[in-house]
C-alpha cells in the first residue's frame, strides 16, 4: 500500500531539543534572557533564523541584522560542540527496531528535517546507513509547515506523496505533511498534536504492519 517513510529528526529519531535548549540558553545570557522549557517546545521544527526571531520577541529585544547574524553563528557553534559528543545510545526507543522492520519489508526511508546539522547527527548516531535520501535545512528554502522538505524527499525517492508516510513530533511538521498530501504519524501526545492520521507515544508503540491501517 505504501512505499516509503519520511522521518523528521529532532524529537522523532533523537532528542536534540535538549541541545538546542542549552545552546539558546547560553546565547540568551548575552541579552539577559532565560528560555523556558515551554518556550523551547515552540521552537521545535522551526528554523534557526525563525527561532532567534521568536526568542528576541520574547526577550523584547531589538537587534540589527548584523547582530542577529553574529548570534546565529554563536548559537550554532555552541550547538555543534554539544552534538559533537552524540552517540548511538541517543537514538530514541524503538527507532532501530522499526527501521529494521521497514528495511526488511522493502520500504524506502528518507529524512525530512529543518536542521542544517542533520548530516552530522545522523553520522554521530550511526543512523545514516538507513537512509536512501536526506533532505535537510540546507536543501530547502521554505520552512515547515510548508511541505517543501517532504515533497523533496518524495521526489528523491521517486515516489508520489500518496505512497509516503511522514513521522513527526511537531505541529508544523504534521501540517507540512498534510499540505503535501502524505499520511502522517505524530510522535508524542494527542493533547498537543492535531491533524495526524495516528498518534503514538514512541516507536515502541507501533509495528510496520500497523501502517496498512492508515
The option from ligand G16, Mg ion, none interacting with 115 (CB < 5 to 8 A, set by class) reads ligand G16
Could you say whether residue 86 binds ligand G16 (CB under 6 A)?
A: no
The option from Mg ion, ligand G16, none interacting with 54 (CB < 5 to 8 A, set by class) reads none
> What distance in Å separates the CA atoms of residue 74 and residue 25, rounded to the nearest whole number?
12
Stretches 39-47, 59-67, 122-130, 202-210: which one binds ligand G16 (CB under 6 A)? Answer: 39-47
Q: Widest CA span of the chain, in angstroms?
A: 53
Could you say whether residue 159 binds ligand G16 (CB under 6 A)?
A: no
Stretches 24-32, 43-51, 60-68, 126-134: which one binds ligand G16 (CB under 6 A)? Answer: 43-51
Could you say whether residue 116 binds ligand G16 (CB under 6 A)?
A: yes
What's the Cα-to-Cα distance from 33 to each of 42, 57, 77, rounded to whole Å? Answer: 16, 11, 19
Helices marked H in the chain: 17-28, 37-42, 48-58, 65-83, 95-104, 118-125, 148-156, 171-179
> What distance in Å separates the CA atoms of residue 40 and residue 19, rounded to the nearest whole number?
11
Which C-beta is closer to Mg ion: that of 12 or that of 52?
Answer: 12
Asked if 166 and 137 touch (Cβ cutoff 8 Å), the reply is no
Interacting residue with ligand G16 among 45, 145, 147, 153 (CB under 6 A): 45
Q: If you search the block for the grid coordinates 523556558, which residue do you land on?
A: 36
Q: How far is the CB of 25 from ligand G16 (least distance, A)?
A: 13
8 is annotated as an active-site residue: yes
Show the cell assigned to 124.
Answer: 554521530
15 is annotated as an active-site residue: no
Which C-beta is closer to Mg ion: that of 69 or that of 205?
Answer: 205
Helix axes 171-179, 148-156, angle to 10 degrees: 60
Show the cell assigned to 168.
Answer: 513527526
Interacting residue with ligand G16 among 94, 137, 181, 201 (CB under 6 A): 137
Active-site annotation, residues: 8, 10
Binding residues for ligand G16, rule: CB under 6 A, are 8-11, 20, 43-48, 51, 76, 113-117, 137, 170
Amino acid at each position: 500500500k505504501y512505499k516509503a517513510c519520511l522521518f523528521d529528526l529532532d524529537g522523532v529519531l533523537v532528542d536534540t531539543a535538549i541541545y538546542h535548549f542549552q545552546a539558546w540558553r547560553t546565547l540568551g545570557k548575552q541579552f539577559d534572557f532565560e528560555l523556558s522549557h515551554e518556550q523551547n517546545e515552540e521552537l521545535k521544527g522551526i528554523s534557526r533564523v525563525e527561532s532567534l526571531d521568536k526568542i528576541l520577541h520574547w526577550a523584547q529585544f531589538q537587534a540589527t541584522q548584523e547582530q542577529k547574524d553574529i548570534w546565529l553563528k554563536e548559537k550554532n557553534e555552541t550547538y555543534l560542540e554539544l552534538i559533537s559528543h552524540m552517540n548511538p545510545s541517543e537514538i530514541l526507543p524503538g527507532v532501530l527496531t522499526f527501521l529494521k522492520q521497514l528495511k526488511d519489508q522493502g520500504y524506502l526511508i528518507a529524512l525530512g528535517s529543518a536542521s542544517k546539522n542533520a548530516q552530522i547527527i545522523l553520522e554521530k548516531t550511526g543512523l545514516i546507513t538507513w537512509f536512501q535520501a536526506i533532505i535537510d535545512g540546507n536543501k530547502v528554502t521554505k520552512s515547515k509547515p510548508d511541505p517543501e522538505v517532504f515533497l523533496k524527499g518524495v521526489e528523491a525517492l521517486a515516489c508520489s506523496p500518496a505512497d509516503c508516510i511522514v513521522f513527526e513530533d511537531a505541529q508544523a511538521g504534521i501540517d507540512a505533511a498534510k499540505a503535501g498530501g502524505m499520511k502522517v504519524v505524530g510522535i508524542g501526545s494527542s493533547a498537543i498534536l492535531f491533524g495526524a492520521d495516528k498518534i503514538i507515544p514512541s516507536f515502541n508503540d507501533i509495528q510496520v504492519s500497523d501502517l496498512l491501517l492508515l
